[in-house]
Chains A and B, each alone.
Chain A
Amino acid sequence: MIEPKHHKPASPASTGKDGTTFTRRSVLAGAAAATASATIGGDVPAFAQAPVAAADLSTFVTLSSALTGIAAGKLKPFADSLDLSRDFFDWIGDWSAKRQSAAFAALLQVTKSMALQPGADGIIKQPDVDRLVNAIEQRGDEPKYLARSIVLMWYLGSWYEPEALKKLPAKAPSFIGHTVISPKAYTQGWVWHVAQAHPMGYSDLQFGYWTREPPPLPLSDFIGKRDAKTRPKPPKGG
């Protein structure tokens, strides 16, 4: 259903300043995404849709936490000056509007229906993740590959088109292009933390750290509720 011929792409979503904000949120608000983006103009103020978006943003973070294996509090920290979860949420909203895709709405709906609870470390347990993935993949290829794009977004800071992921051959070397979402999306990519490293070209570690092995800690120390151990910790009890 990618951009059917009789539908013009919803231009405000991709080009309009205010229309962009409005359209992507209206898409997320309901299941009738295609009609929403096509029929509602770009002149409704963004704040009109904000409450709905805020609730969905929280569902998006839960979905992201389950799929990535990273605590929600890490993806969207309490005092979040970077606000990457919002950027990603808006990005997918734009993408959905442009494609007139209901896949994102479906992902959020499935997530809401699951009541996913993290463990003490903030990480959602594997059986719950498997149930979620199973439910998503039952909804068809569009939500299935969009879910994968969302994981790659968090890990790499890049957008991989779900359609391109779907077409990727399973075993042959093959090229797939991507778009870096923003400099901060790159520098906040989670793959680096999961590898107990740091984004290339963006490190706040000190001279000589590399000669020592990182402490042999459970991964949850990097991606769960506690702070990463590669950084100096404040003294205990402080």
Chain B
Amino acid sequence: MARALINVPRKAKRGDIIEIKTLISHVMETGYRTTQTGQVIPRDIITLFTCDYDGEEIFRAELHPAISANPFITFHTVATASGTLTFRWTGDNGYSVTETATIAVE
């Protein structure tokens, strides 16, 4: 099940600034909504997103309930070497998803 979509250029020139787009399917329940019977729907959000480039962290975002459902995050990095980008989303109720993407730098 493809829960996460990641858009990383397959190839880049060394030193290029590349754009990375990520989208993950998640309800991001705020914990502020109630059902018709008045019960509060418990919070269930992704709280942290990180991206590692060959093991070194290049981006980190702390998410709050104000982030829309199916969090979409776009950021940039410098293509330094061919390698692997590791994306990690962690959140409430033991939520944890890891995805990887490879990039060829010439």
Same complex for A and B? Answer no
B interface residues, Cβ below 8 angstroms from A: none
